[in-house]
Amino acid sequence: MRLRQLCAELGDGVTLRWRAFPLRPTLDPSATFAGTYREEAWRRCRDLARDTPVAYRMWERPDYPQWSLPALEAAKCVALQGEALFEATHLRLYRAFFEEGVNIGRPEEVVPVVREVPGLDVERFLTDYQGGVGRQPVLEEYEVAVREHGVRAIPTVVLPDGRRVVGAVPLDTYRRALDP
């Protein structure tokens, strides 16, 4: 959210390129939420995001996502239809997970969320998604992030000079990082 705000402020002065980074690139059946570091991290994110339009609601379901690959793949498939549709999908999936408790690790829950995106060619999306078109690009971006940039957490912003800003940080932190 803060990065979108920064882009709006700076206009053509900054380019934002979203890259997929699954925290768990393989299915992890042991992933749980209640009483784990994930619950504590969620609380921290909620507290840090008080100045953003996203309201983090604590995860209440017993089936915490075992991975995020299905949502990331969906976003990659939508990106084939244009940047604006990708942006809308990215934000919609983000809100579905953090505000609505949608399990983004389940394709059967991801697809209805993506279908809501205005202007999307749903049939094309479904063909691409069910055909696995988005998986390889997601995994390639993950490998590049780890190998070339040392990414281990989200969000991680890699600046043109290679410096990284890691974690949910105040907007001023991004501004300072971009100030020459």
Token output for 17? 């390129």
Q: Residues 56, 45: contact at Cβ < 8 Å?
A: yes
What is the structure's pLDDT at 33?
95
For 68: left if phi > 0, alpha if psi spans -120 to 50, otherwise beta; the answer is: alpha
Token output for 117? 């995106």
Token output for 140? 């390639």
Q: Report the domain count for the chain.
A: 1
What is the structure's pLDDT at 98?
94
Q: Which domain holds residue 63?
A: 2-178
What is the structure's pLDDT at 140?
97
For 106: left if phi > 0, alpha if psi spans -120 to 50, otherwise beta; the answer is: beta
Name the residue among 135, 126, 124, 132 with its Cα closest to residue 82: 124
Q: Is the omega angle on the peptide bond into residue 155 within 30 degrees of 0, that is, cis?
A: yes
Name the residue among 113, 11, 8, 124 with its Cα closest to residue 71: 113
- CATH code at 108? 3.40.30.10
Name the residue among 85, 71, 83 with its Cα closest to residue 122: 85
Main-chain dihedrals φ then ψ at residue 158, nearest 5 degrees: -100, 120
Please count the CA atoms within 13 angstroms of the CA of 70 that sit on its side-chain side. 20
Q: Mean pLDDT of residues grouped by 10 in the chain (180 residues)? A: 83 86 91 94 87 88 96 98 97 96 98 98 99 98 95 91 89 86
How far apart CA 112 and CA 114 sit, in angstroms, is: 6
| pTM for this entry | 0.91
Token output for 61? 């379901």
What is the structure's pLDDT at 180?
65
